[in-house]
Each structure stands twice: as structure tokens, then as C-alpha cells.
Structure 1
């Protein structure tokens, strides 16, 4: 009897979850399937769940109208560099704030956290002036340096600090007994244990860099230097109207790899956030 009730409960729960998933899955499904339709069928009512006339011309035109493969590479390598740089900065600074005691530590940490309260739109003008004077406008340096040293790195530092605070003090004491210095303790003891937190930081940092839009449209002007979010706005006809099937094809190629990465790594992402907690 209890088994039957348990099975019914699971079936009801799974059914409710499937219904709740529809608002999240349908837009992505519509985007991908519409990229395979003629323009006249994209806005047909009622919406077609699957195209009656599958066409791949839109995917070919994506590469004809823009240097899309170069723009794809730009987004990929920038996101990877930003992710690695943010991991390095946040791990070192988070460990320092969690384990090294110095005068004004808490005040300095609050000042760092205040960076999260400043919108990027407020700092974009002085940043542009600074990079313009350095001759770095229309290069990828602003897209690399600003996220590594800006708000995304601050949030990553907070997550890493919370994780390192949760580590037992006995681990560092044992390391000192073995003759390890501060950096050796960080590198050989603390950092390997921080893999869940590092995984969470890596995922949201990569996604943030991949989807970055404001900074590219401010700092970049050459199509071959564009990143994907900026490139998606360039697929228009001669009258400035959107080429819907081409835009949706480009958006599908942009979004699907990121969705795949998140689906594969979501367990580690959730585990990393759970391990950081809000302790201390």
C-alpha cells in the first residue's frame, strides 16, 4: 500500500515538474525550430511545434553575412581567459580575506563588496576614456580586464571567501606542523578542497562573459572584433529590419553550447553554491 502511494506521489510530482518546465523549455524549442522555418511560418498562429518545411539556408547565411566563425572564436577565447583570470584572482583574494588576519580586514572587504552595488552603466564612460587614452579601444583587452578586475570577480571573491571560512582550522595547523608556508598551504591544501566552489565560479563567470553585451558595443567597432551578443544585432536587411530566421539560427548556435555546458555541469554548480553557504 505504501509503495503504491509513493509511486503515485512521484508520478504526480514528476507531472507537475514537467508542466512547470514548459515555460522555460518552449522559448528555446521555438527558437531552434523557427530557425529551420521560412520567415512566413515563424509567426504562424497557432505556433508550429515542428517545421513542416525544414530549411537550413538560414544557417548558411549566418556565415555569409558576418564573419561569424571569427566572432564565435572571439567570444570563446575571451570567456576562457576571463574565467581563468577570475578563478586566479578570486581564489587568492578569497583565501586572504578568509585566513589572513590584518588590520582593517573587514573594512576592506566591505569596500570590495561595495563594487557590487555600482551598476556597470555608471562606470562605462570613465572606463572608455581610460582605455581610449591607452589606445585599447576596438581591442579585446577591455572585455578581458574589466570582468577580471570588476564586479564578477568581486562576487567570485565573496563565494571563495565563504568556502575557505568553512574549512576547519585544523587543516592549516597540520600543514604548519609539516613545514608548509602560507602559499604552499593554499596551493596544496585549501585549493584542492575548493573544487566545488571553483566549479560554481567558473560556470557563472563563463556565462557572464559569454553573454556580455554593454561593453562590446561600447569598446568594439570592427565586425571582425565583435563578440556573439553584438554580432546577433547585425543580421538585418537593407531596410534595417530583422532577418528573423537568420537571427534565430545565429542565436541557436550561440545558446545551445552554453545550455549544454550548464546541463552537464549543473550538479557541480549547485554543489559549489551549497558548499559556500553563508557562514562567517
Structure 2
């Protein structure tokens, strides 16, 4: 009887989870299937959940109407560079704030955290003037430097600091007895243990860079230098109206790598967030 009740409970829980997942899964399903439909079927009522005649030519048009492959590469390499740069900066800064004692440490950390409270729209004009002075407009440098040294890196520094605070002090004491200095302790002890937190930082940073929209439309003007969020707005007809099936095909190609990375790395992501909350 107890076994039967347990089985029923599991069925009820899984059934409830399936129902609750519908609002999250359906938009993705609609995006993917609508990218294969003629434009006339996309807004049909009742909705057509399965395309009657799948049309794969929409995906070839994504690459023929504009340099989508180049724009895809732009987003990929910028996100990779930003992710690596942010991981490096936040690791050093987070370790310094967590394990090195110096005058004004907590006050300086609070000042750094204030960067999270400043909206990007407030700083975009001064940043534009700054990069214009150095001739970096219509280049990818602003899209790399702003996230690495801006708000995303501040949040990553907070995550890394919280993780490094949770490490036992005995680890550093044992390392000093073995003759390691501060850099050796960081490189050989703290950083390898911080892999879960680094995974969380990497996923957050990659997603932020991949979806970045405001900075590209401000700093970039050449289609071959566009990133994917900016490129998605360019699929319009001769009258300026959206080409829905082609836009959805491009959006599907844009979303797939992010979903794949998150599914593969979700265990490290959750573990990293759990570790960062062990201590204040």
C-alpha cells in the first residue's frame, strides 16, 4: 500500500510539473515550429502547433538576406572574450576582497557594488564620447571592454567574493606552511576549488554578452559588424514590416546554442550559486 501511494505521489508530482512547464516550453515550441510555417499560418487561430508543410527555405534566407554567418561569429567571439575576461577580473578582485585585509576594504567593496545600481542608459552617452575620442566607434572594443569592467564584472566579483569567503582559513594556513605565497595560494588552492562559482559566472556572463542589445545599436553601424540581437531586427520587407517566419528562424538559430550550453552546464550553475550563499 505504501509503495502504491508513493507511485501515485510521483505521478501527481510529475504531472503537476509538466503542467507548470507549459508556459515556459510553449513559447520556444511556437518559435521553432513557426519558423517552418508560411507567414500566413503563424498567426492563425486556433494556433497551428505542427506545421502542415515544413518550409526549410526560411533558414537559407536568414543567411542570404544579410551576413548572418559573420554576425553569428561576431556574437560568439565577443561573448567568449568577455566571458574569459570577466572570469579573470572577478577572480582576482573577488579573492582580494575576500581574503586580503587592507584599510577601507569593506567601504571600497560597497563602492564597487554601487555599479550594479547605475542603469546602462545613464552611462551610455559618456561612454560613447569616451570611445569616440579614441576612434573606437563601429568596432567591437566597446562591446568587450564595457562588460569586462562594468556591471556584469561587478556582479561576478560579488559571486566570487562570496565563494572565497566560504573557504576554510585552514587551507591557506596549510599552504603557507608548505611555502606558498599569496599568488601560489590563489592559483593552486583557491582557484581550482572555485570551479563551481566560475561556472556560474561564465554562464551569467555569456548570456549577458550574447543578449546584449543597447550597446551594439549605439556603437555599431556596419551590418558586417552587427551582433545577433541587432541582426534580428534587420529582417524586414520592402515596406519595413517584419518578415516573421525568417525572424523566427534567425531567433531559433540564436537561442539554440544558449539553451544547449545551459542544459550541459546547469549542474555546475546551480552548484555555484549554492556555494556563493554559504557565508555573508
Q: Shorter-chain TM-score: what band?
A: over 0.9
**Distance in 1 separating the partners of 2:277 and 2:126:** 35
**What is the match of residue 212 of structure 1?**
212
**What is the match of residue 76 of structure 1?**
76
- State TM-score, norm by structure 2: 0.99
Query: Is the aligned partner of 1:170 residue 2:176?
Result: no
- Moved beyond 2 Å, runs of 4+: none
- Secondary structure at 2:9 match in 1: helix
**1:46-95, Cα deviation, whole Å (9 max, x unpaired):** 11111001101111111111100000000000000000000000000000
Q: Check conservation: 2:236, 2:242, Cα contact below 8 A.
A: yes
**1:35-56, Cα deviation, whole Å (9 max, x unpaired):** 0000101111111111001101
Alignment of 1:127-276 (within 5 A): 127-276=127-276
Q: Check conservation: 2:196, 2:268, Cα contact below 8 A.
A: yes
**Distance in 2 separating the partners of 1:2 and 1:187:** 52
Query: Is the aligned partner of 1:36 residue 2:36?
Result: yes
Q: RMSD value over aligned CA atoms?
A: 0.6
**What is the match of residue 98 of structure 1?**
98
**What is the match of residue 120 of structure 1?**
120
Aligned length: 280
Alignment of 1:15-34 (within 5 A): 15-34=15-34
**Distance in 1 separating the partners of 2:199 and 2:222:** 34
- Secondary structure at 1:130 match in 2: helix
**What is the match of residue 3 of structure 1?**
3
Alignment of 1:47-66 (within 5 A): 47-66=47-66
Q: How far is the alpha carbon of 1:2 from its aligned partner? A: 1.4
